[in-house]
Amino acid sequence: MPQTDSATATATVNRRAINGRLTNPVGLGCMSLSWAYAKRPPDEQGIALLQRAVDLGYDHFDTARLYGQGHNETLVGQALQGRRDKVFLASKMGIFVTGERRGIDCKPETIREQLEISLRLLQTDHIDLYYMHRRDFTVPIEDSVGALADLVREGKIGAIGLSEMSADTLRRAAAVHPIAAMQTEYSPWTRQADIAVIDACRETGTTFVAFSPVGRGALANGVDDPAALDDGDLRPGMPRFKGANWRHNHGLLQQFNALAAGAGVTPAQLSLAWVLSRGDHVVAIPGTANMAHLHENIARWDWAIPADLAAQVDALINHQTVAGHRYSAAMQATIDTEDFDTFFEIAG
């Protein structure tokens, strides 16, 4: 596995640029206020958390049309009334869900249609960063990016982003229009971006935005028994959180927690510091619906992980030591990001 060198690991963590705008390197993923993990909190609680996030210094919010089928964009729009200028606002389009049917649509006409809906729900006249949520393999990437470039010229979006796409796709897209950000799952236990994408982002001047930087809560000491999670939580269906895979991975996490304790930080803070050490073009967007975690995730944003500790994390948790893939085979088939050739599964 790649090791974090001393120069990178000890670099000062400063505000980092996305499309030329300096932001706190720890932003806020807003998804869990509407979908995917624990039960949706009451709207007034979600709005209070978002507004508190601004007070604490979060200045990069990330949402999507998918999250709660518009609920999350609506919530963010309500929370930012009177404070819109304080936040670099990102949203995404491209994934649709109709009943049990899920698909991807990034045709130029769909991009424009979905943007108009997002602008209305977010109660804004522009979105700072607008992503294709996934690669639509039925549409040339050049056509989709061309449609997004038109929206940049019209002033409706500030910049173009891609999510879960490969280095090759990024280079093809960047040949049409500059790509401000690439968003991909990344943490000590999800390392696919190390294969090529992080380097390609550096090459193209693209900010790498790490989602799930605390391993969907696993690296934040937030999951003990996946089977006990709320109905509707996505994690029990993911290979890493199942049966013997989870029992193996839980043992790794206990050792990770001990490393954090020895450094005087929480596991979440250790994971975030590791992610930010991977390059000065990297930012992280942990998500939470919990006020205490909101404070925790930003409290040590300026702590630079020592090189020897980063090396211990690298050796302990990586794609060769974690059991199970991050996604089911069906879900992985929709992802354009490069992948490692093999993952081991533990029977039972």
Residue 85: closest CA among 55, 59, 65, 63? 59
Q: What is the pLDDT of residue 220?
A: 97
What CA–CA distance (Å, rounded) separates 153 from 158?
Answer: 9
Which residues, other chains included, contact 213 with Cβ-Cβ below 8 Å and sequence gap of 6+? Answer: 186, 187, 271, 272, 275, 284, 285, 286
Domains recognised in the chain with CATH numbers: 16-216+274-303 (3.20.20.100)
pLDDT one-digit tens code per residue, 213-242? 999 999 999 999 999 998 889 999 999 999
Q: Residues of the chain whose pLDDT is less than 50?
A: 1-12
Q: What is the pLDDT of residue 13?
A: 62
37 in catalytic set: no
Q: What is the pLDDT of residue 348?
A: 64
Q: Which of 37, 58, 67, 186 is catalytic?
A: 67
pTM (two decimals) = 0.94
Q: What letters, b where the CB count within 10 A reaches 16 and e where it falls short, cover 161-183?
A: bbbbbbbebbebbbebbbbbbbb
